[in-house]
Structure 1
Amino acid sequence: MSTSTLPEIVTDPAVTTALAADLTAAGFTVDGVDALWGADAAEALHRGNRVPALRALAARDRSALGTLATLFVLGLPVERTAADAAFPTVGVDGLVGAGILRSEDEVLRPAVDLRPYAFVDDAGAGSWWIVSDLGELALGAALDEEHVLGIGGATTTLSGLQVPVPVRRVLDLGTGCGIQAMHARRFADEVVATDISRRALDIARFNAELNGLDGIEFRLGSLFEPVAGERFDRIVSNPPFVITPRSEGVPSYEYRDGGMVGDALVETVLRGLADHLEPGGTAQLLGNWEYHWGVDGLDRVRAWFADTDLDVWVVERERQDPNRYAETWIRDGGTKPGTPTFDHLVGAWLDDFQQRRVTGVGFGYVVVRKPRTGGPAGLRRFERVPETLGSNPAGLGATVARVLDAAEWLAANDDVALASAHLRVAGDVTEERFYWPGNDDPTVMTLVQGGGFGRRVDADTALAAFVGACDGELSVAAIVGALAQITGVDEQALAADLLPAARDLVLDGLLTPA
């Protein structure tokens, strides 16, 4: 039985509509809140320091916006009179009844975190208000195991990774506060959002209502159980992938721990995709995978797809050693370093890793597509891309779509067809050249991708000349023939070098079929 003391969230359309009106009237937006205390205080808040924001508010602000920011962004109480003025439409009692505020005599305290959120995707700019549970800064203590997480780095990463192509049905597996389902709804006729946490579904439902979003169905259950026998055009998931020791005294947070040993939950989710994707359907997910003694982490992920016909692209962005991984997630739960509890938990994590021969943990993205027709997979790509490349996740969804389209095109075109194709250099590609002093010929030439993952491809003279000639007018074979004639090299040998390189550049998006 749960011992949680978190408030019950009650969704009432009358309350959410009135609350939205009050938030709008107060100017409760990202820009509005940041302007209250200035850029320096806003940056301090991101680091968990609210003192500069408090000093700025105390010096000059008594507005409804200041009251809302104090309550929901800083997580601090306000007097009843200030709360009454800030919520003239919904009323304080309505928010207490909905589980949004707590009333203590003449003082109102936040029961949840509620803050503005702004974004830009292929459908344009948007903004919402997102309810989640109070964080460590507001609580002054470790998180409850039923904590529902709000907007974080993983949120923006996965929302940016979603393919911005309209589809009929999307599954958001493990919806949490509902943010991915809300993003998915911008490109889908209907969304099914599932979670094992009833509280998460209550909050997700409240968020959808607060922001006037329909077309999202919320279902309770574990992993694919709530959608057994159903298929979707797209699946998105930020699953509870954190690797947590299954030992006594180690908290298990619903928002991040799937209750399985090691990375078994991620494996289960990935193995289940094939049964729930429509032909041509795609999936975009985040995940962790373990490195074991003598076994590469990406090789383990590759084995999970070995018996499927799915197109798979796995991008590892980071790898942490056991010590750092343990410290990261123990602090994430609100346990401070230097305390006996922190030391105990680190020991539990390291014991678990040692017993299971884990040497590290990788983190990254998984993109999957179910081919429209039967046959072998056309894309099996498992790569490590440094965090410094493609650090802005906002446009990665379009990159994913281009890579999937390019993989499909390449699978349908053998080298004979490729030689007949006309290619064009992508608009975001530039070339860097470096020279030794006094030399006319460059010593290093690098093709640089401005968008996507910002890939950098070293090129020799032949490849640089080939790419430079790809303007869509000449076929690949014609360009290769001209280069062979100009340089005096064997045309077949040059084609054997350039065609594989051209395939890689098409897959990476530096070249596109004309």
Structure 2
Amino acid sequence: MTATPDTPVVVPALVDALRADLAAADFTVEHVDELLGPVAAGALTRGEVLPALRATAPGTASGSAPAAVLTRAFLLGVPVRAAALQTALPSVGVAGARRLGLVDVAGHGDDDDVAALVDLRPYAASDGAGDAAWWVASDLGELATGGPLRTDHVLGVGGASLTLAQATVRDPRRRVLDLGTGCGVQALHASRHAAHVVATDLSTRALAFARFTTALAGLGDDRVELRAGSMLEPVAGDTFDLVVSNPPFVITPRRGDVPAYDYRDGGRAGDDLVRDLVTDVGSVLAPGGVAQLLANWEVRDGEEWHERIGAWVDASGLDAWVVLRDQQDPAQYAETWIRDGGTTPADRATWTARYGAWLDDLASRDVASVGFGVVTLRRPVAGAATLRRLESQTGPVRQPLGPVISAALAAHDATAHLSAEGLAGLRLTVAPDVTEERYLQPGAVDPRVVLLRQGRGFGRTVQAGTALAAFVGACDGELTAGQIVGALGALLDVPASDVAADVLPTVRGLLTDGLLTIA
């Protein structure tokens, strides 16, 4: 008997058969949620599997359904009978699934157990190109294995992956680089709007999973090319129109008793890996090319959150927009990543040792907190960079952010070199998601506060004075901004120049933020 491979392998005919079987079984996010029901599905998102096991148990109303068998095997990681899996995957069969490296088989009988070796699950998301659905392969997680992760663990689609996918600009691109592809999910998203995708990773296991995931999506080497190597080394000398990266950005103590996981730890001290990626990614960007990445960075004692990463984007020479999404103190940061590796406070000795190692490491560099955010960089088509925006947006956002970021870049380009006279000559309209809120004292005629509230993206709220509120209310694309300013001056009995000085600087920001658009 041949040994079962350590990672999935691509056998084209069997992958095609598997794809057909998964589709026929309706093994989709929607159908799995329907099988589980809201209680079990909710518990599973919290890391509790028992309700899901009960909902899919053999003998229950839905337990014999092909999607229920696949859910038990590949999502929950419990053995299923060979006959049940054969029924769920009639084309590829148990033997074919074993040959693909997906399962291990206890014997040759119908009643023998078959255990999944990989996590194979449906994935659905909405990005700037619309709704998408695939199947994604990765290593089984702690819930399925009942033990800590191996250091070369290949992670599936997590919250960070989804954040990046939804924040990425999705206008058509010729060549896209997915740097640190992991299981390949960013490459899947990129394949929908790019002619060619190059996906890289230092981990050969990750590349094997990415190869399987992309093959299962029907993407061949002509669409997604995989390259092994660290960071930008595999693409030195190449240029891309878009670079996306969920890099191994976790700041990890360099100690022998602290495990370093391939999917999150780049092997560098502190935040050096993120620094080098921010400062060097411009070397592979074509003119006009955009790079978007997730990042952690240290905030040292006496610094504001934006100073350190601001220095990096300045050194890059690129247009830059950094959005801080979270900030953790050293204790919070240590707890997050110790738990992520599978250690809990119940294992007191290990927990205490690793907790101390993290606190010591961060203290050695006077780290007061660690920032997490989305970094968007762009190589100017010509000339010097004109965009430097560093902002904190830690509240809820409405996804996908990709179209919002793309529109903001375009609005910046349209207004960056526009004079006051040029701005006054524009015809503007209010974005359809913008609403106005007025707050009045009981019995009052005029509002004390007027708020312009954005319904999508970052959900920005702008407090507007009388002149600005009236200006925005008149933006229907018929009159130019200058004509509206002149009319407001006459209505308010003040010089039009005063209205322009009060309103137009804010109008630039409203355009960049998407509350106003150019008609």
TM-score range, shorter chain: over 0.9
Query: Hey, what's the Cα distance between the residues in 1 that align with 2:46 and 2:411?
Result: 41
In the other structure, the counterpart of 2:434 is: 429
Query: Hey, what's the Cα distance between the residues in 2 that align with 1:229 and 1:200?
Result: 24
Query: Hey, what's the Cα distance between the residues in 1 that align with 2:235 and 2:446?
Result: 61
In the other structure, the counterpart of 1:439 is: 444
Question: Secondary structure of the equivalent of 1:279?
Answer: strand
Alignment of 1:11 with 2:10, yes or no, is: yes
In the other structure, the counterpart of 2:147 is: 141
Query: Hey, what's the Cα distance between the residues in 2 that align with 1:338 and 1:361?
Result: 26
Question: Secondary structure of the equivalent of 2:404?
Answer: helix
In the other structure, the counterpart of 1:80 is: 82
CA offsets, 1:448-507, max 9 Å, x none? 111111111111111101111111122222211211221122322322221110111011
Q: Which runs of 5+ in 1 are unaligned?
A: none
Query: Hey, what's the Cα distance between the residues in 2 that align with 1:496 and 1:449?
Result: 24
Q: 2:313 aligns with which of 305, 315, 328?
A: 305
Alignment check: 8 A CA contact 1:9 1:199 kept:
no
Alignment of 1:30 with 2:29, yes or no, is: yes
In the other structure, the counterpart of 1:481 is: 486
Query: Hey, what's the Cα distance between the residues in 1 that align with 2:341 and 2:317?
Result: 39
Paired AA for residue 77 in structure 1: P
Alignment check: 8 A CA contact 2:56 2:69 kept:
no
Question: Secondary structure of the equivalent of 1:307?
Answer: helix
Q: How does 1:68-467 map to 2 (within 5 A)?
A: 68-105=70-107, 106-214=112-220, 215-339=223-347, 340-375=349-384, 377-388=385-396, 390=397, 392-393=398-399, 395-467=400-472
Query: Hey, what's the Cα distance between the residues in 2 that align with 1:65 and 1:485?
Result: 69
Alignment check: 8 A CA contact 2:232 2:281 kept:
no
Query: Hey, what's the Cα distance between the residues in 1 that align with 2:5 and 2:493?
Result: 76
Paired AA for residue 164 in structure 1: R
CA offsets, 1:420-446, max 9 Å, x none? 222111111110111111111111110
Query: Hey, what's the Cα distance between the residues in 1 that align with 2:363 and 2:168?
Result: 36
Q: CA deviation at 1:247?
A: 1.2
Query: Hey, what's the Cα distance between the residues in 2 that align with 1:374 and 1:57?
Result: 60
Alignment check: 8 A CA contact 1:162 1:184 kept:
no
In the other structure, the counterpart of 2:55 is: 56
CA offsets, 1:105-132, max 9 Å, x none? 3211110101011123344432111101
Query: Hey, what's the Cα distance between the residues in 2 that align with 1:297 and 1:485?
Result: 45
Question: Secondary structure of the equivalent of 1:412?
Answer: coil
Query: Hey, what's the Cα distance between the residues in 1 that align with 2:323 and 2:128?
Result: 22
Moved more, 215-224 or 463-472: 463-472
Query: Hey, what's the Cα distance between the residues in 2 that align with 1:7 and 1:62?
Result: 29
Moved more, 60-69 or 323-332: 60-69
In the other structure, the counterpart of 2:39 is: 40
Q: CA deviation at 1:387?
A: 2.5
Alignment of 1:470 with 2:475, yes or no, is: yes
Question: Secondary structure of the equivalent of 1:328?
Answer: helix
Alignment check: 8 A CA contact 1:158 1:238 kept:
yes
CA offsets, 1:358-405, max 9 Å, x none? 010111111111111113x221000001222x1x33x21100110100
Query: Hey, what's the Cα distance between the residues in 1 that align with 2:181 and 2:276?
Result: 17
Q: CA deviation at 1:104?
A: 2.3
Q: CA deviation at 1:6?
A: 8.5
Alignment check: 8 A CA contact 2:128 2:166 kept:
no
Query: Hey, what's the Cα distance between the residues in 1 that align with 2:231 and 2:407?
Result: 29
Query: Hey, what's the Cα distance between the residues in 1 that align with 2:154 and 2:15?
Result: 19
CA offsets, 1:231-260, max 9 Å, x none? 100000111101111112111010011111
Query: Hey, what's the Cα distance between the residues in 1 that align with 2:228 and 2:418?
Result: 44
Q: Which runs of 5+ in 2 are unaligned?
A: none
Query: Hey, what's the Cα distance between the residues in 2 that align with 1:414 and 1:307?
Result: 28
Query: Hey, what's the Cα distance between the residues in 2 that align with 1:69 and 1:207?
Result: 17
Query: Hey, what's the Cα distance between the residues in 2 that align with 1:35 and 1:471?
Result: 45
Paired AA for residue 213 in structure 1: L
Alignment check: 8 A CA contact 1:9 1:203 kept:
yes
Tell me the matched-pair count: 506
Alignment check: 8 A CA contact 1:34 1:42 kept:
yes
Query: Hey, what's the Cα distance between the residues in 1 that align with 2:467 and 2:394?
Result: 27
CA offsets, 1:76-119, max 9 Å, x none? 11122222222221121222222211122321111010101112
Alignment check: 8 A CA contact 2:80 2:113 kept:
yes
Query: Hey, what's the Cα distance between the residues in 2 that align with 1:308 and 1:472?
Result: 38
Query: Taking structure 1 as the reference length, what is the TM-score of the superposition?
Result: 0.96
Q: CA deviation at 1:318?
A: 0.8
Question: Secondary structure of the equivalent of 1:306?
Answer: helix
Paired AA for residue 98 in structure 1: L
Alignment check: 8 A CA contact 2:252 2:260 kept:
yes
Query: Hey, what's the Cα distance between the residues in 1 that align with 2:83 and 2:313?
Result: 60
Q: CA deviation at 1:22?
A: 1.4
Query: Hey, what's the Cα distance between the residues in 1 that align with 2:7 and 2:408?
Result: 43
Query: Hey, what's the Cα distance between the residues in 1 that align with 2:511 and 2:403?
Result: 15
Alignment check: 8 A CA contact 2:126 2:166 kept:
no
Identity rate of aligned residues, in percent? Answer: 52
Query: Hey, what's the Cα distance between the residues in 2 that align with 1:287 and 1:510?
Result: 28
Alignment check: 8 A CA contact 2:178 2:200 kept:
yes
Query: Hey, what's the Cα distance between the residues in 2 that align with 1:338 and 1:129?
Result: 35
